[in-house]
Amino acid sequence: MQWLLQDFEDTRRLAEALDRLQISYTWHKVVPFVGALAPEPDIAEPQSVILFGSYALWRTAKERGYRPGVLKLRPFVHEHAWHPHLLNGADALFLRLRDVPGCLPDDGRDWFLRPVDDSKEEPGNVQSSGEIIRMARAVLALEEEEIPPGSLRHDTLLMLTEPVRILREWRLWAVGGRIVTYSLYKDGARVVHRREIDDDALAFAQQMVDINPGYSPAFVIDICRTELGLKLLETNCINAAGFYAADLDTLAAALEELG
């Protein structure tokens, strides 16, 4: 498979794994707002190309017909198989950004906020209702054409849920229907990157992959342990998600088999 990499700290680590596996790759910059690659890649077979770097690369991959290209995901909150396992999935509030000022009470309540789409427009975080309303008004004060690509827009669909105390958080990589590597990335309030996972958490993540087999050939799944048990936090595009302490040799070898 032909690997096209955009230069980031994580993709440099991926390149080191590809070197160890003797898999060739090329480096490219992405022309802002256009999506063109520089230098222009010499593609031998469009049906056997994978890209790693910024999430915006999905547009380039789609326009050029690269496969697997960038594995863009359906919003995880719409996947019915996962609904019983989502963190606060049952009581989520969904609002278009343009509707926030008129529909969200400014009552000081805290919400966990994130865009529904896996677009990196806004990282998941806890904000008060007042902060969310002010953020929405700031975006709405801009004309649509003034908003840079990859930023919150007037029609961005947001998911708001009640914050829950999380004890541990893991990121796992699913390729071809199986978890191939994982990383702990938060232990209580401490951000940590260690290649370790509790046995029941690993089994839970594999169960999430198993009960939704048609979701994607490869994706990232974030899970957490709460006082109420293990929960699914979110999914992420495998081409643009941080690697933390993942085993990149194992991940690259598994992805190579997709091509």
Residue 6 within any structural domain of the chain: yes
Residue 180 within any structural domain of the chain: yes
CATH of the domain at 247: 3.30.470.20
Overall number of domains in the chain: 3
- 229 and 185 within one domain: yes
- 182 and 138 within one domain: no
Residue 41 within any structural domain of the chain: yes
- 150 and 169 within one domain: no
pLDDT in tens, 145-192: 898 877 899 999 998 988 888 999 999 999 999 999 999 999 998 999
Structural domain including 230 reads 164-256
Is pLDDT at 259 greater than 80 in this prediction?
Answer: no
Contacts of 92 (CB under 8 A, 6+ apart): 77, 86, 159, 160, 161
**pTM listed for this prediction:** 0.84
Token pair of 83 as six digits: 């609904």
**DSSP class of residue 86?**
B
pLDDT in tens, 43-88: 999 999 999 999 889 989 999 999 999 999 999 988 999 999 998 7
- Pairing label, strands 2-6, 25-30: parallel
Token pair of 248 as six digits: 């990149």
CA dihedral 75, 80, 82, 88 (to 10 degrees): 80
How far is it, in rounded angstroms, from Cα 36 to Cα 213?
Answer: 33
How far is it, in rounded angstroms, from Cα 207 to Cα 235?
Answer: 14
H helix and E strand count, the chain: 6, 14
Residue 20 within any structural domain of the chain: yes
Residue 149 within any structural domain of the chain: yes
User: What's the pLDDT band for 118 if we cut at 50, 70, 90?
Assistant: low
